[in-house]
Amino acid sequence: MTSHAKHGSGGKPVGDVIISVRDLFVGFGDKLVMKGLDLDVYRGEVLGFVGGSGQGKSVLTRAILGLVPTRGGTIRIFGQQRDKLPAPERKALEQRWGVLFQNGALFSGLTVKQNIQMPMRETRDISPRLMDELAMLKIELVGLKPDAADKFPSELSGGMIKRAALARALALDPELVFLDEPTSGLDPIGAAEFDDLIATLQETLGLTVFMVTHDLDSLYSICDRIAALADGKVIAEGPLGTLLASDHPWLRAYFHGVRGGRLAAVIPE
Amino acid sequence: MAAAASNPPDVSPAEGGARLALVGDWTLAASRRLEDKSQQIVDLGKRREFVTIDLSGVSHLDTAGAWLINRARRNLAGERVGVALEHARPEHGIMLEEAAYRDFEAPAPRRVPVVVQLLADLGRAVADGLGEFYRGVSFLGEFMAAMAYVATHPRHFRLTSLVVHMEAIGLRSAPIIILINILVGGIVAQQGIFQLLRFGASSYTVSLIGILVLRELGVLLTSIMIAGRSGSAITAEIGSMKMREEIDALRVMGLDPIEVLIAPRVLALVISLPILTFIADIAALFGGMLVSWGYGGISPAAFLSLLKEAIALHTFLVGVIKAPFMALVIGLIAAMDGLATQGSAESLGRQVTSSVVKSIFMVIVLDGLFAIFFAAIDY
């Protein structure tokens, strides 16, 4: 578990491997989505995960989270293979991560505050007072106004839903956070704010962030390392510069296309 | 890290209590113990003028731990005790700053006397009921207007959609309706024979079955079954379309949701229910005939000739005439409740329940009204 990064150049110093995926095969019916995929995520980094639509970014995230059955290969999180663990240890493991789903997946029958308290209430013995205080603290931490606490998800805007869902993901102070397209559906200002928020939280809480994203600005501004998915494998990984230099056709189209070209122009080579 | 409750948080006083050394994992995993320790800091320090909290022994700190340390500091400050934090690791320092103690204004719960609350609830329920009735009538009007539009513009008639819904509502519910009606016909026959035998009048059982089934039971059982089976489905479909803004999408395209979504469904109900009622009548008579034969010794031939004497065409028509009205009530209530769905999953569940309960109730009320009507015109 303490194998260190081989690619320290360019990125910031890296620690232990927190997620290690080896030779992963995932398929639906006779269609194979992951074909022997390898991926490492190191403690304390923000990993951006990119790939074309339908390439299986979400499938990989769901496979790591154990929501999609795998056909072969191993997935180790915190050095443990989730599907081999007995139930109590698996639960303990699942409390060490937080997940932000693409559409928030807030419980629609509960208020924002109750949503955030849900994991606390279910897994810890905490006094109601502390639970209220912690929920309000998280609400403030993600930049929501206190009066959002008693609102229902249907009364929130898209950006507020993302923030509330992030607050819920952070309820138990997880070490590892999965973000599925955190900035999709936000306006550029909101997206930039959300990026800053993730960066700040990552620094203060010492989070490891696994982020599926399409947002080139997010990749540029907060990701330490980027992995690109195509044809069921990771075709390139490393700091942004490495990916910009890659000559894989999809990556060239992605980074040097009209939108990516503007970005490449501002990044010093 | 967070899961390691193996290293519980603790407070150890030193220098006679002037220095409090915190050790262990100050994380949420320790739950109540964490709160107790925070209180202990306050208890140990509150008689002094100055307390130093030494954080060098803290192995892990999360927002809950930082919050509680800050809460203890705040409480001590309230007791006029000076507090200093020492030897905090840089990352813990950031955490303590981030979780600085502040008051969150809690909205005070409004207290209302029970009697007033009860009266207010009663008033609201009555007003809601009237509003519901008003909306029901206005919805009926909208539906009729949409139907009139479709009738004058046949190009807007959605035949495919109508056929699809007739399959789902009519064809697919035929087996269960046949089954329950055979059973109910049999039960009525058995009871009729059993009770009438005492008066030596068991052959009247056939009249009983014929009239009861054709006038009331066939249409009533079918309507209740369809209200539970298809009314709930319509509410759930339209409700989830409302939640996913599909109804709004139709509106902004200049399409009328009532014409596109609701008309085909209600029309399918109105066409299917009389057919199903006819099937139900036949099934119940068949069930009655079987039991009369096996239990009462009335042969099928005798059953049929007795039935012919007991009933006329109007007996059958009384039942079937009611069916389209029942269908209209079920369809409109289901559609209206579907459209009233709000954003949450809970609301969808509530609407489906209310749709089924209301439409079954209305079906029975309507049946009563028809009974009075037919008695008045002596039909």
Q: Write out the residue range of the structural domain in which residue B302 sits.
A: 142-376
Partner residue facing B28 (CB), from A108, A124, A204: A124
B246 & B332 share domain: yes
Partner residue facing B343 (CB), from A133, A153, A174: A153
Q: What is the pLDDT of residue B319?
A: 92
Tens digit of pLDDT at every position of chain B (379 positions) = 444 446 888 888 877 777 888 888 888 888 788 888 888 888 888 778 888 888 888 888 888 888 888 888 888 888 888 888 888 888 788 778 877 777 776 656 677 889 999 999 999 999 999 998 899 999 999 999 988 988 898 888 888 999 999 999 999 999 999 999 999 999 999 999 999 988 888 888 999 999 999 999 999 999 999 999 999 999 999 999 998 889 988 888 888 889 889 999 999 999 999 999 999 999 999 999 999 999 988 999 999 999 999 999 999 999 999 999 999 999 999 999 999 998 788 889 999 999 999 999 999 999 999 999 999 998 7
**In which band, very low, low, confident or very high, does the pLDDT at A1 lie, cut at 50, 70 and 90?**
very low
Q: What is the pLDDT of residue B68?
A: 87
| ipTM higher than threshold 0.85 | no
**B103 inside domain:** no
C-beta atoms of A136 and B28 within 8 A: no
B79 & B196 share domain: no
**A80 inside domain:** yes
Number of domains in chain A: 1
C-beta atoms of B344 and A206 within 8 A: no
Query: Which residues in chain A have Cβ-Cβ distances shorter than 8 Å to B94?
Result: 203-204
Q: Count CB atoms within 10 A of the CB of residue B77.
A: 12
Query: Which residues in chain B have Cβ-Cβ distances shorter than 8 Å to A1?
Result: none
Interface residue of A107, A108, A151, A197 to substitute, partner B, most B CBs within 10 Å:
A108
C-beta atoms of A133 and B32 within 8 A: no
Of B159, B180, B211, which Cα lies nearest the Cα of B316? Answer: B211
**A7 inside domain:** yes
Final residue belonging to a domain, choices B76, B98, B120: B98
**Number of helices and strands in chain B (H, E):** 15, 4
Partner residue facing B342 (CB), from A93, A154, A205: A154
Partner residue facing B2 (CB), from A109, A120, A172: A172
Which comes out higher in pLDDT, residue B354 or A262?
B354
Are the CB atoms for A159 and A151 separated by under 8 Å?
no
C-beta atoms of B28 and A108 within 8 A: no
Tens of pLDDT, residue by residue over A21-68, are 888 898 888 888 888 888 888 888 889 988 888 788 888 888 888 888
C-beta atoms of B106 and A109 within 8 A: no
B56 & B154 share domain: no
Chain B nearest-CA distance from A193, in A, is: 18
**A262 inside domain:** yes
Instruction: Give the torsion through C-alpha atoms of A75, A116, B93, B55, to 10 deg.
Output: -90
B164 & B39 share domain: no
Chain A nearest-CA distance from B345, in A, is: 6
Tokens of A239: 């700091």
How many Å separate Cα A204 from the centre of its chain? 17
Final residue belonging to a domain, choices B82, B98, B114: B98
Query: Which residues in chain B have Cβ-Cβ distances shorter than 8 Å to A154?
Result: 342-344
Tens of pLDDT, residue by residue over A159-170, are 888 889 989 988
Partner residue facing A124 (CB), from B31, B71, B346: B31
Number of domains in chain B: 2
Are the CB atoms for B341 and B316 separated by under 8 Å?
no
**A18 inside domain:** yes
Q: What is the pLDDT of residue B283?
A: 96
- Name residues whose C-beta falls within 8 Å of residue A225's C-beta, 6 or more positions apart in sequence: A11, A42, A45, A46, A47, A48, A237, A238, A239
In chain B, whose CA is at the least distance from the CA of A150?
B107
- Distance, in Å, from the CA atom of B366 to the CA atom of B322, rounded to the nearest integer, reads 9
Total CB pairs under 8 A between chain A and B: 77
Q: What is the pLDDT of residue A264?
A: 60
B187 & B273 share domain: yes
Partner residue facing A108 (CB), from B32, B71, B345: B345
Interface residue of A90, A91, A130 to substitute, partner B, most B CBs within 10 Å:
A130
Query: Which residues in chain A have Cβ-Cβ distances shorter than 8 Å to B346?
Result: 108-109
**A265 inside domain:** yes
Domain CATH number, residue B83 = 3.30.750.24
Q: Which helix (H) or strand (E) holds A249?
A: helix A249-256
In chain B, whose CA is at the least distance from the CA of A154?
B343
Q: What is the pLDDT of residue B107?
A: 59
In chain A, whose CA is at the least distance from the CA of B94?
A204
Q: Write out the residue range of the structural domain in which residue A11 sits.
A: 1-96+174-182+212-269
C-beta atoms of B344 and A108 within 8 A: yes
DSSP assignment letter at B156: G
Tens of pLDDT, residue by residue over B130-189, are 998 899 999 999 999 988 988 898 888 888 999 999 999 999 999 999 999 999 999 999
- Distance, in Å, from the CA atom of B262 to the CA atom of B237, rounded to the nearest integer, reads 11
**A107 inside domain:** no
